Amino acid sequence: MNGKEVQSLTAIIVCIIAAACFPLIADGYWMSIGVTAMMYMALATSWALFSGPTHYISLATAAFFGIGGYLVGTGMSDYDLSFWLMMAISAVVATVLAALIGLATLRLSGVYFVIFTLGLAEMIRNLVSWVQNNFLGSRGLYVLTDFTDADIYWMLLTVAAAVYLLGWLINRSRLGFALRIIGNDETVARHVGINTAWSKVLLFMTTGFFAAIVGAIIAPRYSYIEPNLVFKPELSFLVVIMALLGGTHRLWGPIVGVIPFTLLWEAISISFPNYTTLLLGLAFLLIVYFIPRGLIGLIEDLVERSRA
């Protein structure tokens, strides 16, 4: 590693240590906000691992997140299995599902891929609801553990740190180089011998793996879960908005977008709960039109102009 990379890695470690101290100084409402923000940091960063370099907009986050939460709930509630075992199983199931989806759909691009991933999440939500209502006799599941909000926060922080470290390693690998070429021009990437399908599927599997783990960790926070809660499409849109707001061309960009939008979302949800969908639509329009490269890109442009 060169000096710049060492400084970058050191800064990451310092930020992780600082974030780990948050539960020591926060409680109640702000601890709840911290857990929510850390959840979206892990999800948005893992989303950006795939969508950032490839420019494929995936709305399947809710599907993988819901698989993690629902498998944990099913295993613990119906079969008295341990939380940790079910979390591992949910991650494997989501990764296999992501591989199958990737192999079948990543030949699509643009709006077709967006529509398919959104439809996938909705299909899984309705399928789980149908099975739950017709064969299991109840709509929801209890997920009861001894975890506190601080415990959940630290687990989510560990996942977010693992996602970031993996992304940092990928960016410096041949896979990262291949993905950047795919994002710039997929046709050129194929002509120079890059296996574009395998590269995209591999990153899509990573997104599914981490989203399922986050869903599994969050499930005990809800105590009682049902399909409309853990598979809600709103989650997928929030992850995309937060990642785009921060900027996906930098690995740490999504983190910048998570904190302000989490605070805004909480404020709107409490004060104007009927206008959350309007906020999602406006956020998409404003980000795409005014800051297409996110807050990080805006800051970089301002710095370049000041130097000129």
Domain ranges of the chain: 3-307
User: Regarding predicted confidence, which is higher, 155 or 110?
Assistant: 155
Give the residues across from 225 on adjacent strands.
141
Confidence at 110, pLDDT banded by 50, 70, 90:
low
Q: If you average pLDDT over residues 97-110, what whole number do you get?
A: 79
Predicted local confidence at residue 221, as pLDDT:
93
Integer Cα distance of 235 and 231 in angstroms = 8
pLDDT for the residue 83: 95
Confidence of residue 308 (pLDDT cuts 50, 70, 90): low
**To which residue do tokens 């906020």 refer?**
279
d(CA 306, CA 301): 9
If you average pLDDT over every residue of the chain, what do you get? 87
pLDDT at res. 1: 60
Task: Give the pLDDT band of residue 64 (cuts 50, 70, 90).
Answer: very high
CATH class for the region spanning 3-307: mainly alpha
Q: Give residue for tokens 């296996």.
A: 195
- pLDDT tens for each residue of 260-270: 999 999 999 99
Residue 206 has pLDDT above 90, yes or no: yes
Which whole number is the average pLDDT over 77-87?
91
Strand pairing partners for 142?
Answer: 224
CB 126 within 8 A of CB 55: no
Higher pLDDT, 171 or 214: 214
Answer yes or no: is pLDDT of 33 > 90.
yes
62 contact partners, CB below 8 Å, separation of at least 6: 121, 125, 230, 231, 232, 233, 234, 235, 236
E-strand ranges in the chain read: 141-142, 224-225
User: Any idea what DSSP says for residue 251?
Assistant: T
CB-based contacts of 38: which residues, under 8 Å, 6+ apart?
19, 153, 156, 157, 160
Residue 158, pLDDT score: 96
d(CA 32, CA 12): 24
